[in-house]
């Protein structure tokens, strides 16, 4: 069985390595993408790694994923705290979803401590840096294979 996973990255994550290195580290978005693609290839998973700064594009990606993907890993970034539209799209997906954050949103500003998507995802990984992406890929594979 071929496993197809979509990783969705929200606003400003394309600027990894340039923005708030104390929170997000020095790895660039392209390096992170390559690291995830390498890991997925090692374990035999088909992976699409995307990013958008536009809320509606992320909603479209989630809707299209219903027919094309077995699971979604999403770092909705700032939309985590504001987007009912992304939350509603994820609720329709009905397959495994992992919410991912590079930083620990519960140790940051008060407004970041509320995730609008946590109650519709299967599980979450936050606060362990970019290694969270690799853990999410492995966890997603295990969830789908069960």
List the catalytic residue out of 69, 81, 101, 106: 101
Strands 97-101 and 3-9: unpaired
Instruction: Give CA separation, 4 vs 40, 94, 141, 142, in Å.
Output: 10, 15, 9, 13
Could you confirm whether 81 is annotated as catalytic?
A: no
Could you confirm whether 106 is annotated as catalytic?
A: no
Residue indicated by tokens 């809707």? 63
Please name the residue ranges forming H helices in the chain: 21-24, 29-42, 55-68, 84-93, 131-145
List the catalytic residue out of 24, 69, 106, 133: 24
Q: Which are the contacts of 28, defined by CB distance < 8 A and separation ≥ 6?
A: 16, 17, 18
Are 36 and 134 within 8 A, CB to CB? yes
List the catalytic residues: 24, 101
């Amino acid at each position: 069985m071929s496993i197809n996973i979509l990783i969705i990255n929200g606003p400003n994550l394309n600027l990894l390595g340039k923005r708030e290195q104390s929170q997000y580290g020095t790895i660039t978005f392209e390096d992170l993408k390559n690291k995830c693609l390498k890991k997925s290839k090692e374990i035999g998973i088909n992976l699409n790694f995307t990013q958008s700064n536009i809320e509606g594009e992320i909603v479209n990606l989630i809707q299209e994923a219903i027919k094309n993907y077995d699971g979604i890993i999403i770092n909705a970034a700032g939309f985590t705290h504001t987007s009912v539209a992304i939350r509603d799209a994820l609720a329709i997906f009905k397959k495994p979803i992992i919410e991912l954050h590079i930083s620990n949103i519960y140790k940051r500003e008060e407004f970041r401590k509320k995730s609008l998507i946590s109650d519709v995802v299967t599980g979450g990984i936050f606060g362990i840096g970019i290694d969270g992406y690799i853990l999410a890929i492995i966890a997603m594979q295990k969830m789908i294979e069960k």
